[in-house]
Amino acid sequence: DTGVSQDPRHKITKRGQNVTFRCDPISEHNRLYWYRQTLGQGPEFLTYFQNEAQLEKSRLLSDRFSAERPKGSFSTLEIQRTEQGDSAMYLCASSSFGGGGVGDTQYFGPGTRLTVL
Amino acid sequence: DQQVKQNSPSLSVQEGRISILNCDYTNSMFDYFLWYKKYPAEGPTFLISISSIKDKNEDGRFTVFLNKSAKHLSLHIVPSQPGDSAVYFCAASQASSNTGKLIFGQGTTLQVKP
């Protein structure tokens, strides 16, 4: 069973450009999460999907950010008009959520490191 | 508002000894806790978890202890190995609300010396 994969691993862009990241979760995992991590901090939650439905978005997810999971499998995260403050590691995680108040263990991909010049 | 805190940025231990990493939380609604290990340029790797109905969970060399009254959890690694050198994050969620969203601490860098 392959793990969570993310593409690209690294992205360098100029301020004002749009970027898109892709995440492929562990197969048959129904939940997919996006987090952002900056230097010296733990990952911060951005948004998550259950199947194709986006169930929650953090206030960190400004209007310039959009995420999709069109068929309930892979997901994309797009950042429009990038700013230098968007430079971070963007992490994707997936889980097999069963409900019933049972803890949801998330498995992370390697991340996409974004540098905005 | 840091709901999950790891107050020790770094820890250094000798190979073969015990490593104890600590984590405190403020939100009493958290009921599921996880520890992740992270190497540079990689994503976090899941290590071990614990539900609030338990006070201890063990998996090989790793044991997590939960003290709900103190809102404190700790990860014990025995015996420590050089390959354990990494950044360790604790994370918490409200499983009872079915959200799954994880709140992470800032991380503790563990160095295990040969």
Comparing alpha-carbon positions, the chain A residue that sits nearest to B104 is: A42
Nearest residue of B to residue A42, measured between CA atoms: B106
Of residues B36, B44, B106, nearest to A41 (C-beta):
B106
Would you say residue B79 has pLDDT above 70? yes
Percent of chain B with pLDDT over 90: 90
Contact flag B43-A45 (C-beta cutoff 8 Å): no
pLDDT at A1: 56
CB A35 within 8 A of CB A44: yes
For the record, the structure tokens of A76 come out as: 């994309």
How far from B58 is each of A78, A106, B9, B34, B103, CA to CA, in Å? 40, 19, 24, 12, 22
Q: Which pLDDT band holds residue B70 (cuts at 50, 70, 90)?
A: very high
pLDDT at A28: 85
Contacts of A95 in chain B (CB under 8 A): 100
